[in-house]
Amino acid sequence: MIDIVKKRWEGRSQMSKYMDIQKKKISSKKVLVFIVCFFIAFIMIIPFIWMISTSFKAKTEIFTVPIQWIPKVFRTVNYETIFNKIPFITYFFNTAKITISITALQVLTCSMAAFSFAKLNFPGRDKLFLAYLGTMMVPWHAIMIPQFMVIQKLGLYDNHLSLILTGGFSAFGVFILRQNMLNIPNSLIEAAKIDGCGPIRIYSQIVLPLTKTGLATLIALTFTSVWNDYMGPMIYLDTDTKKTIQLGLAVFKREFSTDFGAIMAGSVISLIPIVIVYAFAQKYIVDGVATTGIKG
């Protein structure tokens, strides 16, 4: 009896030792992954640190060797230059107007289309969805000229509506939200129907509140894409007072190509809204992207 107890005790001791070894291996792997991720993040953030540092330097300090990461004196002359040489505030508000309008319109159109493809049953639903996704395979450059001709015929050239209407729909946004909505149990939809809820009420009061991760992902990606867009505004906008911040910075670079401090100052200001959006939406973005491909 004593021998049996000793053997069991030795077996448990060996098992605990084995578990401790496995835990040490797992922890060492986590540390290694953390170090690699930290190194990659550090490399990626270096250009942004240099950009912010340069925006506060004088011209003679920008290309000094070795690099002076922290300026001896923080000068705001570059920010004053970017505001005085071009109508930067006008460009900023034009960009904000277009970006917010397109983002809001995409949230509405994409969520309604995704709800139809995910929770409504109608003939040819899946085939229509595949055909809609097929439009993602067509590069924008292939439809650029026909789209421009349509906008011109409608009298929307040199108008912010040309960008808002052409950017208010997204097959990619529908795909993200549909995959997110597929995770919502159909039993909730059926229970709502029994209680007398129609499709609009189900969409607005049940489905949308449960699709926060997908909506946050769509908002962040759309906001960033539209805010940084250069080609669209360049094609459809001509009047200087209607141009966006990206066009304004391009104009400034052409006229003052050697004023790198002012260029960096404008770039820093243009990045602030994107950083704010990602700061508020970051906790939803990873979950939204991760759940995109769970169901099909």
Q: Are 290 and 176 in contact (CB under 8 A)?
A: no
Give the Cα separation of 90 and 96 in Å (integer).
Answer: 10
112-121, 165-174, 282-291: which range is least confident on average?
A: 282-291
DSSP 228: T
Sequential DSSP letters for 160-198: HHHHHHHHS--HHHHHHHHHHHTTS-HHHHHHHHHTT--
- Give which of 153, 171, 151 is closest to 162, Cα–Cα: 151
DSSP 258: T
Q: Are 228 and 183 in contact (CB under 8 A)?
A: no
What separation in angstroms does the CA of 154 have from each of 94, 102, 147?
A: 21, 19, 11
Q: What is the mean pLDDT of residues 22-49?
A: 78
The secondary element (H helix, E strand) that includes residue 12 is helix 2-55
Sequential DSSP letters for 88-133: HHHHHHHHHHHHHHHHHHHHHHHHHHHHHHHH---TTHHHHHHHHH
Supply the CATH classification number for the domain 77-290.
1.10.3720.10
**Chain segment 277-291, per-residue pLDDT in tens:** 888 877 776 665 555
DSSP 256: S
pLDDT at 164 (0 to 100): 93
- Give which of 247, 236, 226 is closest to 150, Cα–Cα: 236
Give the Cα separation of 219 and 225 in Å (integer).
Answer: 10
- pTM for the predicted model, two decimal places: 0.81
**Which three-class secondary structure state does DSSP give residue 295?**
coil
- Whole-number percent of the chain with pLDDT over 70: 86
The token pair at 222 is 């759309």
Domain ranges of the chain: 2-62, 77-290
**Chain segment 195-206, per-residue pLDDT in tens:** 888 888 888 888
**Chain segment 91-104, per-residue pLDDT in tens:** 999 999 999 999 99
Report the alpha-carbon angle 144-145-150, nearest 5: 100
Query: Which of 6-10, 19-23, 56-60 ranks highest by mean pLDDT?
Result: 56-60
Query: Which of 21-35, 211-225, 245-259 ranks highest by mean pLDDT?
Result: 211-225
Residue 14 above 80 pLDDT? no
Is the peptide bond prior to 66 cis by the omega test (within 30 degrees of 0)? yes
Q: Mean pLDDT in the chain?
A: 83
Secondary structure E strands in the chain: none
